[in-house]
Structure 1
Amino acid sequence: MSERQQQDVVVVGNGAVGASIAFELCRRGFGVTRVGRSDRPYAASRAAGAMLGCFGEVTTSLLESDHGRAKLDMDHQARRYWEQWDGDLSDSSGDDASLFTAKGTFVLLNTMGSAPVDSGNMHAIESALGEYEEPYEAIDPEELDWLAPNDLSRSLKGLWIPGEHAVDSHRLLAKLDQALVRRGGQVVDGQVRRLVLTGGRVTGVELESGDVLSAGHVIVAAGAQSLTLLDGLEDDVRRRIPPMVSGYGVSALVETEDRALPSSVIRTPNRAFACGLHCVPRADGVLYLGATNIISREPRRFAAVGDLQFLLGCAVDQLHTNLAEASLLSVQVGNRPVPADGFPLVGSAGVEGLWLATGTYRDGLHQSPLLARHMASLLEGKGGEYDFLSSFTPVRAPLATGTREQIVRTTVDHMMATGYEHKWNVVSEWPPRIERHLRRYYTATVEELHPRFTPPAELVAAMTDEIHDALTGYYRAWS
């Protein structure tokens, strides 16, 4: 075992959040070492469409709680930083290529969703746009140049949000790597085995190779795998931090047959526990396709065939029938970090010298410039920059995403929406019967789990014995 020269900060994780924090700290004068495997095998960032969507991600359930609205404030503030962030990374990396690949976003309501979910979320998006006085306009989907869905999947209405763009996630990660090194930061291609504790505080990390990296501060920003490193902490700290699961997702890069692309993001509202079907133009006829989000206790490295089949089928039916002739260039898999209450874990982890920046679910890449500024401010002793992040400190009691009744209703609505998007063909009297059964089942599930605390709808629907045990252990720590 060898020990390297002590740095001010070790950042564990090299996805968009970890890499952004490392870069921001370095340019503020901190000595920084960033640790993570260069191939980023489980990172959500590599598979992300990188939509800078604040309002396009709004849902009815997001607006039902104060914490959800705080998260919306977080997304709204983060969106303001991207133009400057693009310039800063160009200057620091020496690469002048812009990160932006799409200008503006079309949100479409099509016939494949359900009224409570798709129509409800469309109304929520429009309501939030009005509340924040964000420019938008209603559009006729028939007038969009590139869109050519199957007639049975046609869009009924649409919204144009000119301020919501997209970036190339691969280019972003490459420029963050270059910028950090050019600023004097160190990059370690490896994996952390455990935290090093000395006298009750975290003083570094031990790598799988046996090397020890010493530092005054350790920031864990390793996405869905972040909390595994905390297993060596005292139980009274570890059990009081929300456990996390993985929101596994599959995306694809395709080359269109005629190399024609939309100039903007095209997406549906969030549906069926996922981020809605969406496509994002990249360069040279390459189109990004995404839609899936499946809760898993452990991160996944490879795509399930059925999930890829579903994604591509949705894209052909709902976006452009000629995508059936497109060339499949690559299949990407990412794992979103989903905490037990659905909200980020940002700040001190309850042990001196240890910090967390994870649990961002679908918003990590979008929020990364804001999180970088906030974490740098915390380490400078300034207390952070944003009041709306005060509720998201890692050591916390469960935050509510709504009332128990609202959460059960959301779970049922999204499960039913899953059936409709899979084009189920059932006799007319079955859907209401299925809905009644699901409502009774999920109500019993959450009532058995805890008398007061209720996890978000995604975890209720995905409940396994392992997730159940993780939740009850966390709830017990706060009961």
Structure 2
Amino acid sequence: MILGDEQRDILIIGGGTMGLAIAIELALRGARPTVLSRQFREAALHAAAGMLAPQAEGLPAGAMWNLCTASRNLYPSWIDKLEQLTGLDAGYWPCGILAPVTDERQRDRPHPMEPDSRWLDASELVNYQPGFAESVLGAWWFPQDGQVNTRNLAKVLVSAARILGVEVIEGITVQRFQQTPQGEITALESDRGRWSAGIYILATGAWAQSLLPLPVTPRKGQMLALKPPGQPLLKHVIFGDQLYLVPRRSGKVVVGATSEDVGFQEGTTVAGLQALLNRATAVIPELASYEVIDTWWGYRPATPDDLPILGQGPAANLYLATGHYRNGILLAPITAKLMANLILHQTGDRHLKAFSWQRFQASSEARV
């Protein structure tokens, strides 16, 4: 069935976190975006744990730190807006994050520290969170970091888009751009016809390279979920070495995640899940008695410098929002805001300059 004959105002390629968040922001400002999605269930949104953790991740001072903290600070109002619109619970929980330390040298934090973040020695830590292994010397406490339940958020984003009249078309694979000799995009070719618009936004995550030679590659992450045998133990997110433990209000604990450069290889593996379980029980031994209730995997869109690609693309009417790697959920509010400002008002922002696709031009040329 050919669907794309009608001219659209704005076409967003990709119906995951970024595509939907940008579409919602544009619609709230009076624009009429259309989202083309290949498979919503493939989006990194479904595989993420939903940590909002610029402090816990130890980001250095600079553009990425500024972008991530700005986005985390937008989260309460962004979630409130979405929940008011949809009547649904997005599962936002500013529960704080603990980063346990087993090596005395890890007590020195080289990255920026917010005023209310602090070190807890073992005697203090037990008051915040009991159950740590004896090898844990203490932990850094980051009260401004938190989490959002990504499965709840997925439902909220889809519902908000529908309520605002965003046309979300599922099951479409965009194959290539059509453009003028001057470089302006005139249409998209897909397996379901030709689509044209005045403005195009690429938000396809780990699949960005299928349309543009951008250095965005899939980084596979395996995850699992645990159910406690009785009352839940964890009250805060635990951010450890190659490990995070994200407790939901229901008591379930999300354990993640591997980081594997294996392309789009599907499935969970014994080695991957065993590594996660070993790390989890080494930090919180009691987790050994929990029941494994779910396992899954997904693909994060990684770039060579682990920074997203945002802003104007290599064509005058093409915009890019991809390559968010581990911080896609965290960066959704600020990405939507900055991209809407740029697209609708041509208003640049100091946050965007460091994330231009042009930083990779020395090694490769991105052409439509």
Are residue 229 (structure 1) and residue 211 (structure 2) matched?
Answer: yes
Partner secondary structure for residue 376 of structure 1: helix
Equivalent residue for 2:243?
A: 277
Q: Displacement of 1:4 after TM fit?
A: 4.0
Are residue 475 (structure 1) and residue 337 (structure 2) matched?
Answer: no
Instruction: Structure 2 unaligned segments of length 5 or more: list them.
Output: none
Q: Displacement of 1:198 after TM fit?
A: 3.8
Any idea what the Cα deviations from partners look like across 1:39-84, whole Å, max 9, x if unmatched? Answer: 422x32212111111111115xx45xxxxx1111111111110000
Equivalent residue for 2:82?
A: 89
Identity %: 26
Q: Displacement of 1:196 after TM fit?
A: 3.4
Q: 1:325 to 1:193 in 2, by over 3 A?
A: same
Of 106, 124, 128, which aligns to 2:109? 124
Of 369, 393, 411, which aligns to 2:356? 393
**Mapping for residues 416-427 of structure 1, pairs under 5 Å:** none
Equivalent residue for 2:18?
A: 17
Q: Displacement of 1:180 after TM fit?
A: 0.6
Aligned equivalents of 2:233 and 2:11: distance in 1? 41
> Which AA in structure 1 matches 2:218?
S
Q: Larger strand proportion, structure 1 or 2?
A: 2
Equivalent residue for 1:5?
A: 6
**Mapping for residues 312-351 of structure 1, pairs under 5 Å:** 312-319=277-284, 321-351=285-315
Aligned equivalents of 2:306 and 2:250: distance in 1? 37
Are residue 202 (structure 1) and residue 185 (structure 2) matched?
Answer: yes
**Mapping for residues 256-271 of structure 1, pairs under 5 Å:** 256-268=228-240, 271=241
Instruction: Structure 1 unaligned segments of length 5 or more: list them.
Output: 64-68, 231-237, 399-473
Aligned equivalents of 2:363 and 2:40: distance in 1? 36
Of 200, 207, 216, which aligns to 2:198? 216
Aligned equivalents of 1:292 and 1:110: distance in 2? 20
Partner secondary structure for residue 332 of structure 2: helix
Any idea what the Cα deviations from partners look like across 1:288-346, whole Å, max 9, x if unmatched? Answer: 111321223x2333222211110012112212x23222222211212111112332211
Equivalent residue for 1:76?
A: 69
> Which AA in structure 2 matches 1:202?
I
Aligned equivalents of 2:264 and 2:151: distance in 1? 20
> Which AA in structure 1 matches 2:358?
V
Q: Displacement of 1:250 after TM fit?
A: 1.2
Aligned equivalents of 1:13 and 1:367: distance in 2? 16
Computed over aligned residues only, the root mean square deviation of the Cα atoms, in angstroms, reads 2.3
Q: 1:182 to 1:58 in 2, by over 3 A?
A: same
Aligned equivalents of 1:80 and 1:55: distance in 2? 12
Are residue 53 (structure 1) and residue 53 (structure 2) matched?
Answer: yes
Aligned equivalents of 1:196 and 1:93: distance in 2? 34
Aligned equivalents of 2:203 and 2:6: distance in 1? 22
Of 307, 311, 314, which aligns to 2:272? 307
Aligned equivalents of 1:2 and 1:260: distance in 2? 49
> Which AA in structure 2 matches 1:206?
E
Q: 1:81 to 1:300 in 2, by over 3 A?
A: farther
TM-score, scaled relative to structure 1: 0.70
> Which AA in structure 2 matches 1:246?
P
Q: 1:104 to 1:149 in 2, by over 3 A?
A: closer
Equivalent residue for 1:246?
A: 218
Any idea what the Cα deviations from partners look like across 1:378-401, whole Å, max 9, x if unmatched? Answer: 1113323x3032121113346xxx
Q: Displacement of 1:264 after TM fit?
A: 1.4
Q: 1:158 to 1:202 in 2, by over 3 A?
A: same
Any idea what the Cα deviations from partners look like across 1:248-279, whole Å, max 9, x if unmatched? Answer: 111111111114142211112xx4xxxx3111
Number of aligned residues: 361
CA contact (8 A) 1:102 1:280 kept: no
Q: Displacement of 1:85 after TM fit?
A: 0.6
Q: Which has the larger radius of gyration?
A: 1
Aligned equivalents of 2:168 and 2:122: distance in 1? 46
Are residue 109 (structure 1) and residue 109 (structure 2) matched?
Answer: no
Q: Displacement of 1:178 after TM fit?
A: 0.3
Aligned equivalents of 1:179 and 1:258: distance in 2? 36
CA contact (8 A) 1:219 1:357 kept: yes
TM-score, scaled relative to structure 2: 0.90
User: Runs in 1 of length 4+ with deviation above 3 angstroms?
Assistant: 144-147
**Mapping for residues 135-150 of structure 1, pairs under 5 Å:** 135-141=116-122, 143-144=126-127, 146-150=129-133
Q: 1:147 to 1:222 in 2, by over 3 A?
A: farther
Aligned equivalents of 2:330 and 2:83: distance in 1? 18
Partner secondary structure for residue 324 of structure 1: helix
Equivalent residue for 2:159?
A: 178
Partner secondary structure for residue 326 of structure 2: coil
Equivalent residue for 1:425?
A: none
Q: Displacement of 1:134 after TM fit?
A: 2.9
Partner secondary structure for residue 311 of structure 2: strand
Are residue 31 (structure 1) and residue 32 (structure 2) matched?
Answer: yes
